Amino acid sequence: MRCGSSRNLTVHHRVNRGMGGAREEWINRPQNLLTACHDCNMWFEDHPREAYSEGWKVRRPMLPTEMSVLYPDRRQYVLFPDGTRAPVTVAPRARPNHAATA
């Protein structure tokens, strides 16, 4: 999904399962799973800083629901356990009132 491709997709775990798997019940739930092509999966490994900052990877102890994901449309979404997502909205910055200081 990072590149928008619909070919050769695999399941990507945002929080790594680790050696031997993980015991957390959410590890294989929608909020922790994304689809990614082989090239994007390789990109995640080759560019961990960007993958973490864009939410494609999530570091423990953070939960996947606590980190938004940057989608190909350049919008950020929070993923939920029921498989839905919601866009992240950022409030506009307040503009200084220059008339009040004059």
Write out pLDDT tens, residues 9-26.
Answer: 999 999 998 756 678 889
Q: Are strands 9-13 and 33-37 parallel, antiparallel or unpaired?
A: antiparallel
- Radius of gyration (Cα) for the chain, nearest Å? 17
- The answer to whether 25 and 63 have CB atoms below 8 angstroms apart is no
Q: What is the pTM (predicted TM-score) of this model?
A: 0.78
Pair of tokens at residue 90: 């950022």
Give tens-digit pLDDT for 62-98.
Answer: 999 999 999 988 999 999 999 999 999 875 555 555 5
